[in-house]
Amino acid sequence: MTEKVVVITGASSGIGAALAELLGSRGTSLGLVARRADALRAVAERSGPGAHAIVADMTRRDEVRRTVAEALEKFGRVDVWVNNVGRGITRTPSQLSDADIDEIMLVNVKSALYGAQEILPHFLSRGEGHVINISSMLARIPLKVERSAYNGAKHFLNALTANFRTEFQQSHPGIQFSLISPGVVRTDFGRSALHGGADSWQLPDSQSAEEVAAVIAEVIESRRPDVYTRAGSRDRVVGYFDALGQDP
């Protein structure tokens, strides 16, 4: 891990910040990306001397491209790119507006698409690299009707990740695309949702950001393609589809 260069987007709080601090404690070189400059720089300071803050908006392709260039200038290479930018929404499907869909797709899908596409030429030139996309259990079992647009966006992200992997696994086996699926995580995700939302810190059956970060760190080492962050998640997915009389 200490020899890797890892770029983490959405690194100013929550899972991204926890991952930065965990990897930083192990001596990993880090490119930490977020829009909030002060919060991001505070995370970078806590993440050790190998952490470099890059203030940028991952929903803008030109800023993603600038981030790639700055990371390469700083470190000389990138080994792992973690697409961690995301935002929830609280609105039932019957009430969704065009603006709701556009915002949630931009933040949860396009930011990851831009990241993967813009780092890919570097990975192709080296013949190796690793993109990790942070998804959600709600992409597997869309139980929360008020999260409808988020559920759909994460379904899209899951499909993109699988299709990227298939596109390159034969021609460039050194390039991997991994998907991480947490459940409820104790962060400000709920309170920061579009149109407000439940406080994730108060919801039952939750994980800490540090627990999720530990799983992501393991995936950086193992390069596993599709990983849940807690035991029993696969059984929950199978049970959901069994109840519907469908195969998962």
Contact indicator for 139, 105 with CB cutoff of 8 Å: no
pTM (two decimals)? 0.94
pLDDT band of 231, cuts 50, 70, 90 = confident
**Could you give the CA distance from residue 82 to residue 10 in angstroms, rounded to a whole number?**
9
What's the start-to-end Cα distance of the chain, in Å? Answer: 34
As given in the structure block, the two tokens for residue 245 are 């009389």
Give 181's strand partners: 228
Task: Indicate whether 197 pLDDT > 90.
Answer: no
As given in the structure block, the two tokens for residue 108 are 């949860």
Residue-number span of the structural domain to which 154 is assigned: 5-244
Render pLDDT for 104-155 as a digit per residue (tens, 0 to 9).
999 999 999 999 999 999 999 999 999 999 999 999 999 889 999 999 999 9
Give 162's strand partners: none
Phi and psi at residue 87, in whole multiples of 5°?
A: -150, 140
Catalytic residues: 150
- The total of structural domains in the chain comes to 1
The 10 Å Cβ neighbour count of residue 123 is: 23
CATH of the domain at 56: 3.40.50.720
Render pLDDT for 146-178 as a digit per residue (tens, 0 to 9).
999 999 999 999 999 999 999 999 999 999 999
